[in-house]
Amino acid sequence: MSDILKGVVVGALIFTGTLTAMAQTTETPIVPQSTLKLADDPMEQPAPKPVVGQIVLQSNGTVLAGDLIGSNVYNGENEVIGDINDLIINTSGSVDGVVIGVGGFLGIGEKDVAVEMSTIAFIVPEEGNARLILNATREDLEAAESFKTTAVQKTQKRMEKVREQQQIQQLKRGVYPIAPTN
């Protein structure tokens, strides 16, 4: 028999053996009942412990952070002056203030200004989201100093240190910075 014919026969035998093996079903071995672990009776399981401080239902007079973020802020003339971008929460869990996004177009060029929570008036209608009113104009917010997070403040301090170190290195090399003209 030629080598090619032998290869075809061997391949066909292997293929048929594979199909036969795949077609066979495996039987589940019999395991003595003493070794099976049955599910515990639910009546024997201890009741779950209650979660301390758990709130199951939202109470009237409360607002969820997710409902506040993105909400418009209005002035006394019912004009939109910005929207809530974030909340400032202290380590005891109280809301100290809100970060209002103002200016820009579709979020581009928007500036964050933070105000204390006590300066925002909440009007919560029976149905719908809370209405937030601030005694300021859009122009007031646009002219106000931008809010800086602690992360931004730390980055600015690191950048200042790097600039100072660069200036010291320049002075050591004999390169003197040109004083800015006003």
**Threshold 0.85, pTM exceeds:** no
Instruction: Please give, one letter per residue, the 3-state secondary structure of 39-93.
Output: CCCHHHCCCCCCCCCCCCCCCCCCCCHHHHCCCEEECCCCCEEEEEEEEEECCCC
For the cut 70, the answer to whether the pLDDT of residue 167 exceeds it is yes
| 151 vs 156: CA distance, rounded Å | 9
Query: Is CATH 2.30.30.240 the classification given to domain 65-152?
Result: yes
| 140 vs 115: CA distance, rounded Å | 12
Tens digit of pLDDT for each residue in 101-157?
998 777 678 899 999 999 999 887 777 667 899 999 999 999 999 999 988 889 988
Contacts 24+ apart (CB under 8 A), 55-63: 61/124, 63/122, 63/124, 63/130
Tens digit of pLDDT for each residue in 32-80?
555 555 555 656 778 888 889 988 898 887 888 888 899 999 999 989 9
Extract the tokens encoding 97.
């203030």
